[in-house]
């Protein structure tokens, strides 16, 4: 069988079967990627010598890891979509060249970002609220330095994961992520508890796990299926870069805008927490930051499932659009929206009915009653429109896979910047610390109204 025929099953197999084959491994891969930071936070929270101070420090550093992820997914998702469309059009050389260029670009950008982080760590951490108190600031710096060292490995592994899926190996992409996360889960408790390495130990466990994922991704590049990479594939070519990077622009901006929203939220939590009658006390000042971080981690798990379902469909949609099969893309869109709403509804039930149990995972037993009360309220208010959030996020990615990066990007920017940052800054003015919690559902509700009109237009286009 020639290379161009390897992925022809994307035109013939039922879309439901294809969705299970591609989306489920992608969901697992993204969940595993999310677990790196979440696992760190769970073990940190349950270490008596770190507790909510460590939780707050983890929350401060988290947005800076998302910046690295944003650049990586722009490269990886853009390349994934471009490879799939190119193979559907039988443009094999372009597909191979884009994979090689994506690998090279991810390495260069990873090294550059790590250098920036190490040189400007203190002002960067201040932007995300490290000065909530002295202990949180100290732990943030300790954690961030080692995380920054591992950024090139993290970015390479994350960027290559979608490329591996586009090559027709979603299971290998999943296994490479599982291997790294497994190492992290094993090393975290060893470094944090018996060795008492604190935040440094949590960061080192994460970096070692990321190194394993990166090594497996590098190995795969020399054992591809549909693609065959040569030295020529890795030579930079501006036309190829300009072709696939815009397809990943939505992924970049959606992540970066999420960082902007987190910066706004963290700073509003810091500002209005200090003015709160309870959390204005020095010994409790880190609690709102720690709790918001936990709620965001739960949200990240849900959104990882949502994004995984949608991103797993990128090779299928791209190949069928490239081959002119819009009818199959339309069927896939319908199935995807149903799945996304169902995921959001299930997560909403968990957040509303089991907040105490979810909080307990992150060491609430060691904290004050104020911690628990604020955490319960945060889960129930901040996440009350999760089904709409899942539909919104999946719509952005589906538009990207259709080769509509600019519409996708505008929608994403509206959600995260116009609504996400805007409401995070405005609502606390009237509602104080509670306004921070209201900002999330209000943003998702406004975005959903716009998304409905866009999806209706896409359905009409796919019927044409």
Assess whether pLDDT exceeds 50 at residue 135.
yes
Longest dimension (CA), the chain: 70
Q: 267: which residues sit within 8 A by CB, 6+ positions away?
A: 127, 128, 129
Quick: pLDDT tens for 193-208. Answer: 878 888 888 889 989 9
The domains of the chain are located at 22-463
Lowest mean pLDDT among 76-90, 356-370, 389-403: 356-370
SS3 category, 284: helix
Average pLDDT over residues 11-23: 74
Q: 222: which residues sit within 8 A by CB, 6+ positions away?
A: 229
**Would you state the pLDDT for residue 12?**
67
Average pLDDT over residues 406-411: 81
Give Cα 343 distance to the centre of its chain.
Answer: 16
Quick: pLDDT tens for 159-176. Answer: 888 888 877 787 888 888
Quote the mean pLDDT of the chain.
81
**How crowded is the C-beta side of 417, counted as CA atoms within 13 Å?**
11
Q: For 200-217, give the DSSP string.
A: HHHHHHHHHHHHHHHHHH
Tokens of 62: 């988290």
Q: Are 79 and 99 in contact (CB under 8 A)?
A: yes
Whole-number Cα distances in Å, 339 to 9, 172, 310, 394: 23, 24, 10, 10
Q: 179: which residues sit within 8 A by CB, 6+ positions away?
A: 212, 213, 216
* DSSP code for 50: T
d(CA 280, CA 271): 10
Quick: pLDDT tens for 102-127. Answer: 888 999 999 999 999 998 988 888 87
pTM of the model: 0.72
Quick: pLDDT tens for 28-66. Answer: 767 776 676 677 777 777 777 676 777 778 778 888 888
Q: Are 301 and 95 in contact (CB under 8 A)?
A: no
């Amino acid at each position: 069988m020639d290379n161009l025929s390897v992925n022809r099953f994307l035109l013939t197999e039922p879309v439901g079967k294809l969705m299970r084959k591609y989306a489920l491994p992608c969901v697992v891969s993204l969940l595993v990627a999310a677990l790196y930071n979440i696992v760190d936070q769970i073990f940190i929270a349950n270490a008596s010598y770190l507790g909510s101070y460590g939780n707050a420090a983890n929350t401060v550093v988290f947005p800076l890891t998302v910046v690295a992820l944003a650049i990586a997914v722009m490269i990886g998702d853009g390349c994934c979509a471009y490879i799939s469309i190119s193979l559907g059009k039988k443009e094999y050389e372009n597909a191979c060249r884009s994979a090689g260029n994506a690998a090279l670009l991810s390495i260069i950008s990873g090294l550059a970002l790590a250098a920036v982080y190490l040189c400007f760590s203190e002002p960067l951490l201040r932007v995300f609220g490290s000065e909530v108190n002295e202990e949180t600031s100290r732990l943030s710096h300790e954690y961030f330095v080692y995380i920054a060292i591992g950024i090139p490995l993290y970015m390479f592994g994350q960027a290559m994961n979608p490329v591996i899926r586009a090559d027709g190996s979603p299971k290998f992409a999943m296994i490479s992520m599982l291997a790294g996360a497994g190492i992290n889960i094993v090393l975290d408790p060893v470094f944090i508890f018996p060795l008492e390495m604190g935040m440094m130990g949590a960061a080192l466990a994460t970096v070692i796990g990321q190194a394993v994922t990166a090594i497996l991704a590098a190995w795969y590049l020399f054992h591809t299926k549909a693609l065959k990479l040569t030295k020529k594939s890795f030579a930079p070519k501006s036309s190829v870069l300009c072709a696939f990077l815009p397809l990943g622009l939505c992924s970049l901006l959606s992540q970066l805008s999420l960082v902007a929203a987190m910066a706004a939220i963290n700073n509003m939590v810091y500002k209005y927490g200090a003015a709160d009658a309870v959390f204005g006390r020095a010994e409790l000042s880190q609690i709102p930051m720690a709790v918001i971080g936990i709620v965001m981690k739960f949200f990240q798990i849900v959104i990882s499932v949502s994004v995984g379902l949608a991103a797993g469909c990128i090779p299928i949609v791209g190949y069928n659009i490239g081959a002119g099969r819009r009818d199959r893309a339309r069927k896939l869109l319908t199935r995807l929206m149903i799945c996304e709403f169902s995921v959001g509804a299930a997560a909403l039930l968990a957040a509303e009915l089991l907040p105490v149990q979810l909080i307990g995972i992150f060491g609430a037993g060691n904290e004050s009653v104020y911690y628990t009360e604020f955490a319960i309220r945060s889960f129930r208010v901040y996440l009350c429109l999760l089904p709409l959030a899942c539909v919104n996020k999946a719509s952005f990615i589906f538009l990207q896979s259709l080769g509509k990066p600019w519409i996708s990007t505008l929608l994403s920017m509206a959600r995260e910047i116009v609504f996400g940052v805007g409401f995070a800054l405005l609502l606390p003015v009237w509602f104080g610390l509670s306004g921070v919690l209201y900002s999330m559902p209000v943003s998702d509700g406004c975005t959903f109204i716009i998304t409905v009109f866009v999806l209706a237009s896409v359905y009409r286009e796919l019927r044409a």
